[in-house]
Structure 1
Amino acid sequence: MIVATALPSLPGHHPILAGAPPVQSLHGLFAGQPLEAFEGGSAIFWQGDRSRHVFEVLQGVLRLFRILPDGRRIIVGFIQASDLLGLAPDERYPYTAEAVNEIRLRRLDRRRFRELTEASPALSRQFVASLCEELAVAQDQMMLLARRGAEERVCSFLLRQAQRAAQGSEPASSVPLPMSRMDIADHLGLTIETVSRTITNLTQRGVIAPSGRHALAIRRPATLARLAGADDGPDTRRSGTGPAQQAAWPQ
């Protein structure tokens, strides 16, 4: 059953009021907004819906997908905890956002979000930097699908997930993968058989290992990076200091 539930706000979160201290980050704009919960399989919004809100994801994973005219599903990306969703100024959402597992999020009216960001030079810079980062991620995905083979695609995906799960400079010992292998296949432009075969092969070679029902352990991170073609150093994009953000929002 698909359920969306409004939950009480978290302690210490208050609405933005006149005279309150200035908000320092885009995430701060969502303080005081109702906390909503969605079960796995729930749609937050559908492809083609009018773009009315911007979302802050606090827990869980969302799949963003488009349905092509021939009925095929293309997963354009995954949204995880601490991500903002719906930043692009599109009149309508270009994809469906569907919960992979239990989701908790907050939403803010798009017009209110725009008013608040435009009123603050610091928030405006962060907003532009986030849009640049979204574009850079989309370009990386296009290059991945256009220029790399199946093993490189799967390894690149696992490497990105490992970087997301890392705590500071400490590598993640276990990488959560709540999405299904069909989801991964639809994201990487592969068949589910190819994804399964590649993961099995990496496991047999000792690069990765099962770690619970929805996780993998990265046993040989340097080998994984090499197989992914990551020869330009670690990707710092998710730490907020990626090239696109540095260009749009110098430190």
Structure 2
Amino acid sequence: MSIAGPQHETCAGATARDCKHGRAANGCEDCKVRLFSVCAALEATELDELDRISQAKLVPARTTLFEQGSLAGSVFNVTDGVVRLYKSLPDGRRQIVGFALPGDFLGLALQDRYGVTAEAVTAVSVCRFARSAFLGYIDGKPHLLRRLHEFAGHELSLAQDQMLLLGRRTAEEKIAAFLLNMQARHARIGAVSVTVALPMSRQDIADYLGLTIETVSRTLTRLAREKAVLIVPDGVRLLDLERLKLAGAG
């Protein structure tokens, strides 16, 4: 199932404008992710205008938001949940290139076709904007363009982080860096905790880090046995931050 095209609706019995999953009844102004998303650059009147061109969607887990190579007709702002982003390789394998969290925009490159596939890991709430409407909206708003450039820079930094993760590092170094990166990203959106939520599967983590699922499980088990982490339901608690930081910087 895909929601990238306007023909797909995920709010049974409601129009897209009436569906407010993951967003306050007052729309963009009271959105819980506004302050750490691109929208933070906007004034109240501009938020009203943005709200008028948005469609709030509730996307079930394992649903595709858009597919690699398909026409890029929409831009998405994730307001709740986690989305995995991956490329399909010629030999049929997939390479996960990132995980989108609340506050992240998808499709900001505004190319003619999507460069990756975006799939909901958990139930996900998004605000969807038609590409043409979004382009028209940002035209003449230099403060919003600056914010978009900041986010593009953040995405580039994440891509560079992944290149380092896939480089000549040990499995422990990769996993430690991944856990610390996810903790920092959650803290960036206000979820400061020593427990890192990991709703994605071990296979997802393996595909992201360029490891096998057996190596991921074995390494996490060893870190838990050595009291560096504690594996909890749907996440990992970081017990020895110094040990993890030392390994993650390797």
TM, length-normalised to structure 2 = 0.81
Give 1:24 deviation, angstroms.
5.3
Give 1:171 deviation, angstroms.
4.7
Superposed, 1:13-28 pairs within 5 Å as: 13=27, 25=41, 28=47
Secondary structure at 1:127 match in 2: helix
> How many aligned residue pairs are there?
222
Check conservation: 2:102, 2:189, Cα contact below 8 A.
Answer: no
What residue number does 1:64 align with? 85
What residue number does 1:117 align with? 138
Q: Deviations over 1:44-72 (max 9, x none)?
A: 01111101111110111011111111011
Check conservation: 1:86, 1:93, Cα contact below 8 A.
Answer: yes
Q: Distance in 1 between matches of 2:119 and 2:190?
A: 31
1:217 maps to a residue whose letter is: R
Q: Distance in 2 between matches of 1:137 and 1:147?
A: 17
| Paired-residue identity, % | 38
Q: Distance in 1 between matches of 2:197 and 2:89?
A: 29
Q: Cα 1:64–1:170, aligned 2, differ >3 Å: closer, same or farther? A: closer
Check conservation: 2:28, 2:50, Cα contact below 8 A.
Answer: no
Alignment counterpart, residue 8 of structure 1, candidates 19, 26, 32: 19
Check conservation: 2:172, 2:219, Cα contact below 8 A.
Answer: yes
After the TM superposition, which of the residue ranges 139-148 and 75-84 deviates more from structure 2? Answer: 139-148
Check conservation: 2:79, 2:124, Cα contact below 8 A.
Answer: yes
Check conservation: 1:55, 1:108, Cα contact below 8 A.
Answer: yes
Alignment counterpart, residue 236 of structure 2, candidates 208, 216, 237: 216
Give 1:138 deviation, angstroms.
1.0
Tell whether 2:204 aligns with 1:204: no
Superposed, 1:122-133 pairs within 5 Å as: 122-133=143-154
Q: Distance in 2 between matches of 1:55 and 1:204?
A: 41
Q: Deviations over 1:12-61 (max 9, x none)?
A: 1269xxxxxxx752794753523211111100011111011111101110
What residue number does 1:246 align with? none
Q: Distance in 2 between matches of 1:223 and 1:13?
A: 43
Tell whether 2:45 aligns with 1:45: no
TM, length-normalised to structure 1 = 0.80
Check conservation: 1:30, 1:107, Cα contact below 8 A.
Answer: no
Tell whether 2:169 aligns with 1:153: no
Give 1:140 deviation, angstroms.
2.0
Q: Distance in 1 between matches of 2:77 and 2:170?
A: 34
Q: Distance in 2 between matches of 1:166 and 1:121?
A: 28
Give 1:200 deviation, angstroms.
0.5
What residue number does 2:76 align with? 55
Check conservation: 1:163, 1:172, Cα contact below 8 A.
Answer: no
Q: CA RMSD in A?
A: 2.5
Q: Distance in 1 between matches of 2:59 and 2:88?
A: 22
Check conservation: 1:24, 1:122, Cα contact below 8 A.
Answer: no
1:149 maps to a residue whose letter is: T
Q: Cα 1:24–1:149, aligned 2, differ >3 Å: closer, same or farther? A: closer
Q: Deviations over 1:186-231 (max 9, x none)?
A: 00000001100110011011111022x201111111211111017x
